[in-house]
């Protein structure tokens, strides 16, 4: 099933001296090379799906791991220190409305490019932010034109000194309850290492991200890294056969993101 992939448990560093992952009893771990092979050889995605992948966490279900269960894809976006001063003032209902409007506006462009229109149905999980731990998770429910099933886009983020540790949970919409139950454990299993933590931010030498938490949720990371790569990570939930949808999946969201970008560092 997993061929020659080395499935591990224990404690592991990812990204060199960037972050630390612990599997506990709930997960197994694939290092960067095996994670890339998992995405391409086991799930059948194109080679670019493996670019920038630091590892994969696989849930242990009934004592075993399976490619048919959800997986947690680990990446890092060195987009700068994300100031969280807007944490207590974000209206997530209003933010969702604006994201939905931006998605609808992008559908004409998607159709012209030969791709299905997409609807942002709503939150599958309203954003939750742990201000003490600097960790956040949220999920969106997407519906592609012509598809009979909704798609789950589940995001877990850890804020660090220089960027954001990205954990995209690749799952089907029918796995939402299982992923929601696992989300706190996933957050607990990942930590930035000393020298990279949020508390160690140095304004004299470190870059500040151009967006806060609202921009992060709306798609700030997508803008900084490019739509194609980030959309690929978000849409891996299709696993096989639908990667072509990613190219224009988030077109139209850029105008919304600009609203959350700062032109000067926060005070």
The pLDDT tens digits for 179-213 are 999 999 999 999 999 999 999 999 999 999 988 99
End-to-end CA distance of the chain: 52
Over residues 39-97, the pLDDT tens digits come to 888 887 778 778 889 999 999 998 999 888 889 999 999 989 999 999 999 999 999 99
Predicted TM-score (pTM) of the model is: 0.81
Split at pLDDT 50, 70, 90, the class of 236 is very low
Do residues 174 and 154 lie in contact, with contact meaning Cβ atoms separated by under 8 Å? no
d(CA 265, CA 267): 7
Q: What is the mean pLDDT of the chain?
A: 81
d(CA 220, CA 211): 7
Residue recorded with tokens 């149905």 = 121
Nearest CA-CA partner of 136 in 206, 187, 201, 197: 187
- How far lies 249's CA from each of 34, 233, 234, 246, in Å? 27, 12, 10, 5
Split at pLDDT 50, 70, 90, the class of 223 is very low
d(CA 16, CA 82): 22
d(CA 192, CA 198): 8
Strand partners, 138: 155
Question: Who wins on pLDDT, 181 or 223?
Answer: 181
d(CA 197, CA 17): 11
């Amino acid at each position: 099933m997993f061929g020659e992939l080395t499935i591990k448990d224990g404690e592991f560093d990812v990204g060199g001296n960037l972050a630390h992952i612990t599997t506990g009893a709930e997960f197994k771990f694939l290092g960067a090379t095996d994670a890339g092979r998992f995405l391409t050889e086991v799930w059948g995605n194109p080679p670019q799906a493996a670019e920038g992948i630091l590892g994969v966490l696989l849930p242990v279900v009934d004592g075993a791991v399976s490619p048919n269960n959800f997986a947690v894809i680990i990446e890092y976006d060195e987009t700068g220190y994300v100031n969280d001063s807007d944490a207590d003032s974000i209206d997530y209902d209003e933010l969702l409305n604006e994201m939905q409007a931006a998605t609808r506006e992008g559908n004409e462009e998607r159709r012209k490019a030969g791709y299905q229109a997409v609807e942002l149905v709503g939150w599958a999980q309203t954003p939750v932010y742990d201000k003490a731990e600097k960790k956040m998770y949220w999920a969106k429910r997407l519906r592609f034109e012509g598809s009979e099933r909704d798609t789950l886009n589940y995001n877990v983020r850890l804020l660090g000194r220089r960027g954001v540790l990205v954990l995209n949970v690749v799952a089907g919409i029918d796995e939402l309850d299982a992923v929601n139950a696992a989300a706190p454990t996933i957050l607990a299993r990942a930590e930035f290492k000393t020298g990279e933590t949020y508390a160690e931010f140095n304004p004299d030498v470190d870059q500040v991200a151009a967006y806060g938490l609202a921009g992060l949720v709306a798609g700030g990371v997508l803008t900084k890294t490019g739509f194609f790569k980030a959309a690929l990570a978000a849409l891996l939930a299709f696993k096989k056969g639908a990667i072509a949808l990613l190219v224009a999946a988030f077109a139209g969201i850029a105008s919304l993101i600009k609203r959350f970008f700062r032109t000067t560092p926060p005070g």
